[in-house]
Amino acid sequence: RKLYAVDGWGAPYFAVSDQGHLCVKPEGDGGPVIDLFTLASTLKDEGLEMPLLFRFPDIVNHRLHLLQGCFDKAVARYEYQGSYRGVFPVKCNHDRELISTILDCGAKFGWGLEVGSKPELLMAMSLLGQAPGSLLICNGYKDQDYIELVVQCWRLGIEAVVVLEQFKELGVLLRVAQRMGVRPVLGVRAKLSTRHEGHWGSTSGEKAKFGLRPREIVAVVRQLAALGMTDCLQLLHFHIGSQITNIRVVKEAMSEAAYLYAELVDMGAGMRVIDCGGGLGIDYDGSNTDAPASLSYTMQNYANDVVCSLRDVCLERGIPMPTIVSESGRALASHHAVMVFDAAAAGAQPGRPARAVGKGRFLLCSFREVLDGLEATACSLREAYSDAVYFKEEALRAFKLGVLSLEERAAVDLLFDATCNRILLLAAAAKLPLPEALQPSTRPHSATYHVNLSIFRSAPDTWAIEQVFPILPIHRLDEEPTVAATLADLTCDSDGKIDRFISPVGGSEAAPVLPLHELRSGESYLLAMFLTGVYQEVMGSAHNMFGSTHCVVVRAAECCVPPMPDDTLIHDGEGKILGNGFVVDHVLRGETMADVLTRCQHSGSDMLLAMRAAASAAVLEGRMSSEAAEALVQTFTRQMHSYTYLSL
């Protein structure tokens, strides 16, 4: 039950029940407990096919309050004379429901949105237009149309700030503002020299793609001064990259940005906001270290350092303390989405070698002793591996001399795989070094579980940047896993695999295999990938035409639900599934084959016409009966309107 380091990366939202099921606690400890396995299996039994993306908006609410609470605490602790407001960077996940949840939950704290393109701006306008005073940070590259839309935001009463990412945007902004008769509110995005070393570190430093260099910021202020408009410059923004793993980087960046801010005040700008971008990390592997998939600080440390660094500089320079804005996406929304999928088949499982009876009896018995005698020490693993290789080679020689039967050779093969599998499991569980030949780059021996999922659609970062996400079975967690496996997805792409996992026992080193259970015939084996709530859905693509997945939204129940055990579900009068304190609010069905085909200009109705014509021709030419032709057209039509994944 301690396997998969659930407490490390998952607390307080994910835990393992006494039954060995993975449970979700959207409100953290003390709130409803959702038995994810029971819920997913029930939905599957009721006809909703895997994979299923579960969304828990209450987790977003919980994290929003956590982040606001950390900043409020820091403001009180350092007697900071300003406040904190968050904005959600919508590029992390454009889901309407998620964004509405953030706006609803954050309204009382003055939260808003951050956008980086015209479509995102249109979306934000429509969402914020009826809530005058909401904050809107307008980042990204801008043309005249973009700026005209921001002017409309001002007219609607939205507190929008145009953040210059490039010097030349100033000219466009000033021209549009003059033409439309408004006094603009603008900010500058600074290229800080502080760098962070993680994958997203290239967003920071002087060579960063975005932002203005100090000389360009000075030029902006001078140009505004010449027009008597320095008061329009009100915000300083920086973003040094996502998933900052070490708090030292935050401190350094804050200190550099705070002095920059103070200089802008001294130059006469109407500064009132500092926007410190995103970067607040989450702990994917639960190791609590500054490894790329983790972080060695808490949310409270982050808030303290942001507030304290800024306060110190403001006190030193005798300037008013600005409103602090952050654009946290990953820290806010990663936990709320869980992708549940089933294993379609396990290729090359170790299997159970038959008992030896023939001439190879001695070899097979000796080999079995090696397997049975394996111990969790580096020395035993090394020795067992070299014995296994020896026996395999001996068996091959004996087969070539006609001494070993095919069945015995197959048994040796199985023993070899079983030994390698056990070595991998013991090494993973006890964090022991693997024999050279079993290292991930050279290892051919782990079992491959084929899973009903496209990583290009649902977890593209596993492929694009070798991101590790926690992945584990959501049941049988009270049973020792016996198979060391890698995962292969449904796409016909050799990159469509996962062979880097978080360490099953904690620690920052990625594991080459995932401990899993043997599949049982006639029984589903359900797995889940966690912390996928940002960047995965927006970056996912339709490789092999696998479309969007079904999405199941689960909320705390507002209606009165009778108390019942956590693994019990009932239906209400409208057929909705209710559990102990929660309800399946609604299901958004994933794309059908017709949907994904239409996206590539293959019209469903034209295809159907073509099929009808082909079937009629086959009937006329005597290759098919008219009943068979009708059945073909019906099957084709039904499939067109079906889910793109496997029906298992």
Residues forming the site for ligand PLP (CB under 6 A): 89, 92, 114, 139, 239, 242-243, 277-280, 327-331, 534
Phi-psi region of 279 (alpha: psi -120 to 50; beta: other; left: phi over 0): left
What does the DSSP 8-state code read for residue 87? E
Contacts of 608 (CB under 8 A, 6+ apart): 633, 636, 637, 640
Q: At closest approach, how far in Å is the CB of 234 from ligand PLP?
A: 18
Tell me the CA distances in angstroms from 481 to 194, 423, 472, 478, 528, one per residue in order: 45, 13, 11, 9, 16
Between 324 and 434, name the residue whose CB sits nearer to ligand PLP.
324
Pairwise CA distance, residues 555 & 576, whole Å: 12
Between 62 and 330, name the residue whose CB sits nearer to ligand PLP.
330
Q: At closest approach, how far in Å is the CB of 278 from ligand PLP?
A: 2
Tell me the CA distances in angstroms from 134 to 95, 137, 138, 157, 590, one per residue in order: 19, 10, 13, 8, 32
Between 101 and 644, name the residue whose CB sits nearer to ligand PLP.
101
At residue 295's C-alpha, the angle toward residues 293 and 297, to 5°, is 170
Between 32 and 89, name the residue whose CB sits nearer to ligand PLP.
89
Q: At closest approach, how far in Å is the CB of 507 from ligand PLP?
A: 24
Between 33 and 333, name the residue whose CB sits nearer to ligand PLP.
333
Pairwise CA distance, residues 305 & 246, whole Å: 12
Pairwise CA distance, residues 190 & 352, whole Å: 62
Dihedrals phi, psi of 160, to nearest 5 degrees? -95, 140
Pairwise CA distance, residues 57 & 45, whole Å: 24
Between 329 and 470, name the residue whose CB sits nearer to ligand PLP.
329
The CB density around residue 441, as the number of other CB atoms within 10 Å, is 6
Between 273 and 374, name the residue whose CB sits nearer to ligand PLP.
273
Q: At closest approach, how far in Å is the CB of 199 from ligand PLP?
A: 11
Q: At closest approach, how far in Å is the CB of 209 from ligand PLP?
A: 10
What does the DSSP 8-state code read for residue 315? H
Write out the two tokens for 41. Answer: 């299996």
Q: At closest approach, how far in Å is the CB of 329 from ligand PLP?
A: 3
Q: How far is CA 448 from the centre of its chain?
A: 23
Between 242 and 349, name the residue whose CB sits nearer to ligand PLP.
242
Pairwise CA distance, residues 187 & 110, whole Å: 19
Between 234 and 328, name the residue whose CB sits nearer to ligand PLP.
328
- Collapsing DSSP states into helix, strand and coil, what is residue 190? strand
- Collapsing DSSP states into helix, strand and coil, what is residue 346? strand
Tell me the CA distances in angstroms from 191 to 311, 352, 627, one per residue in order: 22, 60, 70
Q: At closest approach, how far in Å is the CB of 241 from ligand PLP?
A: 7
The CB density around residue 332, as the number of other CB atoms within 10 Å, is 30
Pair type for strands 34-35 and 526-529 = unpaired
Q: At closest approach, how far in Å is the CB of 134 from ligand PLP?
A: 18
Pairwise CA distance, residues 611 & 507, whole Å: 56
In the β-sheet with 34-35, what is the strand arrangement from edge to edge? 14-16, 22-24, 34-35
Between 169 and 408, name the residue whose CB sits nearer to ligand PLP.
169
Q: At closest approach, how far in Å is the CB of 6 from ligand PLP?
A: 23
Between 27 and 114, name the residue whose CB sits nearer to ligand PLP.
114
Between 121 and 371, name the residue whose CB sits nearer to ligand PLP.
121
Tell me the CA distances in angstroms from 507 to 467, 482, 532, 559, one per residue in order: 15, 21, 20, 42
- Collapsing DSSP states into helix, strand and coil, what is residue 557? coil
Looking up tokens 């960046």, which residue turns up?
253
Between 243 and 491, name the residue whose CB sits nearer to ligand PLP.
243
Q: At closest approach, how far in Å is the CB of 333 from ligand PLP?
A: 8
Write out the two tokens for 431. Answer: 């964090």
Pairwise CA distance, residues 169 & 473, whole Å: 50
Tell me the CA distances in angstroms from 300 to 40, 193, 245, 285, 304, one per residue in order: 34, 25, 14, 20, 6
Q: At closest approach, how far in Å is the CB of 34 from ligand PLP?
A: 26
Q: At closest approach, how far in Å is the CB of 212 from ligand PLP?
A: 14
Dihedrals phi, psi of 14, to nearest 5 degrees? -130, 140
What does the DSSP 8-state code read for residue 543? G
Write out the two tokens for 617. Answer: 């021709």
Write out the two tokens for 162. Answer: 């145009």
Write out the two tokens for 372. Answer: 């049975």
Write out the two tokens for 203. Answer: 């967003």
Between 87 and 371, name the residue whose CB sits nearer to ligand PLP.
87
Q: At closest approach, how far in Å is the CB of 200 from ligand PLP?
A: 6
Q: At closest approach, how far in Å is the CB of 239 from ligand PLP?
A: 4
Q: Return the residue nearest ligand PLP (CB atom).
A: 278
Q: At closest approach, how far in Å is the CB of 87 from ligand PLP?
A: 9
Between 26 and 278, name the residue whose CB sits nearer to ligand PLP.
278
